[in-house]
Amino acid sequence: RAVANESTASGSSGESTSELISILDELREIFTDAIKSAYPEIPNPPILVAQSSSKFCDYQCNSAMKIAQLLKEKNIKVNPNEVGRKIVANLPAIPNAYISKVEVAGPGFINIFLGKSYAINAMKMILENGIQPPKVPRQRIVVDLSAPNIAKEMHVGHLRSTIIGDSIARLLEFLGHDVLRINHVGDWGTQFGMLIAHLKDIFPNYLNESPPISDLQAFYKESKLRFDSDEAFKKRSYACVVDLQGGDPNSLKAWNMICDVSRKEFQKIYDRLDVKLIERGESFYQDRMKVVVKELEDKGLLEDDEGRKIMWGEPAEGIPLTIVKSDGGFTYDTSDMAALKQRIQEEKADWLVYVVDSGQATHFQTVFSCAKRAKIVNPDKHRVDHVGFGVVLGEDGKKFKTRSGDTVKLSSLLDEGLKRSLDKLVEKGRDQVLTPAELKSAQESIAYGCIRYSDLSYNRINAYTFSFDKMLEDKGNTAVYLLYAYTRIKSIARNCGGDFANNIQKVVAETTIQLEHEKEFKLAKTLIKFPDVIKLIAKDLFLHHLCEFVYEISTAFTEFYDACYCIEKNKEGEIVKINAERVLLCEATSLMLAKCFDILGLKPVHKI
């Protein structure tokens, strides 16, 4: 396999590409070839290539130690440093498009230094074509996100699911996949019996006139109170569930009215956060549940357990799914089996992603395992992921609650975000500089941006401490810091005026990129990690990698900007000299940041 020479940096196919390539894939291929020709006797040699954590080189190949070990098992004694040198001797000619230099250090680490030629080419690609996704085969993907429950408060757990799920969907869409965002709302539980019974009692005219329920929470509490204390009411509630699930038109009408109240509340939150999804709640699967139950029954997968019908995952341990209750009713488990089947068979999904709190990990593992047993999921064809996340804590380290111990209403939380963000802007005197419209968009961008970003920037598996103070800090890896940094970087080309402001493509065509200064090169080397970051997230679905990347860019940019003048001004503040290459690097940085922000759901503003 020919490695591109220094003048034609290109993807591994050999032809030149217009999108950024994965450096890690490229290096892995180069090292696989070298290792295979150095050690043909080792069938599947370990290929360990990674970004370097040290300052001394860019990437590292750490295969030599492992190979020395494998040889030792075959009674061949070699020193890992020697193995390292043998691998290096089998590399294609260096320098080439990707590698400028390699060194074997200590016990066989191979230090890799990137070459400039690909980095230069990559900067041109970014400037000419914008940020293009790495090429991957297109898949149909269902992302299950948000999923609050009707008549109950949408809480911070649902907010996390909404934020994480939306960004995962955005990333997969950027990769060119066909993504269906499904809101699996809880709209079909037994709680509807008591809600409908209560509605019929207090608004007997509900069939002709829309009942004025504005506070569904209170309505829920009232009906629950009656349900728990009044036997006759309880009986009527059960009857209402049977009517509803049997398709009685009046019950359906009442049910719809109740759902509508919640639906409108949820929608307000989605609109504020600019999240788009399709509502397809548990009720959607009513008929499909009957079908899937029959299928499982026919396949002999259900077991009787004191009148319940249960299904075990594989291995049969832990908690089985309850597919049919002893009263014949269906459960959350049944609806998930039906939904999974619908997504695979009707939606023709290749990949299912469920963004639901880690508390439901066992539920999903069992659902996935049962779906495999039932041959609904074929592990060779379908990928299924439960994207779990930790609970939300308050600053006191306890479960996130209001002072009075109630669950925090999401609309009030967003309102408080807006208020705090405005305070921050006023504190900085921005209200003196910005027009009211600019101030408002800065306020919203900061408020919603910081709520999203701080959630995404930590490893989602861990519990997450919600703190407005922390997320609104203007130093460190926060949305506020990044939004300011972006606006500043974005304005550099604009401030140069002329073609820089009005026809940057002309400047791109006329400027040679050389990356001579060490910090210019470092910035470029950071930007070209993008495809690797995106591919990693598509694999493990952890978005904090992207936040770390964005922060790394802003740090590399600051180092570059401190060390390299882009624009020289005289005492009067007039521009006397412009370094075109550097202004273009600022532009490439801002394009990259904008793309990452887009995936993270941050909305940069013109002025802040």
Contact between 115 and ligand ARG (CB under 6 A)? no
Contact between 144 and ligand ARG (CB under 6 A)? yes
Q: From 142-150, 218-226, 237-245, 373-381, give the range in contact with ligand ARG by CB under 6 A.
A: 142-150
Least distance in Å: CB of 165 to ligand ARG?
10
Q: In what order do the strands lie in the sheet with 351-355?
A: 278-279, 178-183, 140-144, 351-355, 383-387
The contact pattern for ligand ARG, residues 233-272, with x = CB under 6 A and - = no contact, is ----------------------------------------
- Would you say 147 or 439 has its CB closer to ligand ARG? 147
Collapse the DSSP code of 362 into the 3-class scheme (helix H, G, I; strand E, B; otherwise coil) and give the result.
helix
Least distance in Å: CB of 453 to ligand ARG?
24
Contact between 188 and ligand ARG (CB under 6 A)? no
- Would you say 62 or 366 has its CB closer to ligand ARG? 366
Contact between 520 and ligand ARG (CB under 6 A)? no
Q: From 82-90, 116-124, 144-152, 411-419, give the range in contact with ligand ARG by CB under 6 A.
A: 144-152
Contact between 455 and ligand ARG (CB under 6 A)? no
CA dihedral (340, 457, 408, 403) positive or negative: positive
Instruction: Classify 601 in phi/psi space as left (phi over 0), alpha (psi -120 to 50) or beta.
Output: left
Least distance in Å: CB of 155 to ligand ARG?
8
| Two tokens, residue 179 | 């993504």
- Would you say 265 or 336 has its CB closer to ligand ARG? 336
Contact between 528 and ligand ARG (CB under 6 A)? no
- Would you say 147 or 292 has its CB closer to ligand ARG? 147
Contact between 184 and ligand ARG (CB under 6 A)? yes
- Would you say 158 or 582 has its CB closer to ligand ARG? 158
CA–CA gap between residue 419 and residue 446 (Å, rounded): 11
Q: Which of 27, 104, 147, 277 binds ligand ARG (CB under 6 A)?
A: 147
Q: 577: which strand partners?
A: 568
Least distance in Å: CB of 365 to ligand ARG?
13
CA–CA gap between residue 314 and residue 316 (Å, rounded): 5
Instruction: State which residue has the least CB distance to ligand ARG.
Output: 147
CB neighbours (10 Å) of residue 179?
21
- Would you say 354 or 400 has its CB closer to ligand ARG? 354
Contact between 331 and ligand ARG (CB under 6 A)? no
Least distance in Å: CB of 157 to ligand ARG?
7
Residue with tokens 């494998």: 70
Contact between 141 and ligand ARG (CB under 6 A)? no
Least distance in Å: CB of 367 to ligand ARG?
8
- Would you say 184 or 452 has its CB closer to ligand ARG? 184
* Size of residue set near ligand ARG by CB under 6 A: 9
| Distances, alpha carbon 26 to alpha carbons 12, 41, 298, 407, 530, in Å | 6, 24, 50, 50, 14
Residues near 331 by beta carbon (within 8 Å), at least 6 away in sequence: 321, 322, 323, 325
Contact between 149 and ligand ARG (CB under 6 A)? yes
- Would you say 152 or 430 has its CB closer to ligand ARG? 152
| Distances, alpha carbon 469 to alpha carbons 1, 451, 483, in Å | 55, 11, 17
| 8 Å CB contact between 605 and 441 | yes
Q: Which of 58, 265, 333, 336 binds ligand ARG (CB under 6 A)?
A: 336
Distance in Å from the first CA to the final CA of the chain: 51
Q: Which residue, 283, 463, 313, 338, is CA-closest to 388? A: 463
| 8 Å CB contact between 196 and 244 | yes
Which pairing describes strands 351-355 and 383-387: parallel, antiparallel, or unpaired?
parallel
- Would you say 144 or 581 has its CB closer to ligand ARG? 144
- Would you say 149 or 191 has its CB closer to ligand ARG? 149
Q: What is the DSSP string of 140-182?
A: EEEEE----BTTS---HHHHHHHHHHHHHHHHHHHTT-EEEEE
Collapse the DSSP code of 14 into the 3-class scheme (helix H, G, I; strand E, B; otherwise coil) and give the result.
coil
Collapse the DSSP code of 578 into the 3-class scheme (helix H, G, I; strand E, B; otherwise coil) and give the result.
strand
What share of residues in the chain are helix, strand, coil (percent, to 5)?
A: 55, 10, 35
The contact pattern for ligand ARG, residues 339-378, with x = CB under 6 A and - = no contact, is x--------------x-x----------------------
Q: Which of 186, 313, 390, 531 binds ligand ARG (CB under 6 A)?
A: 186
Q: Which residues bind ligand ARG (CB under 6 A)?
A: 144, 147, 149, 184, 186, 336, 339, 354, 356
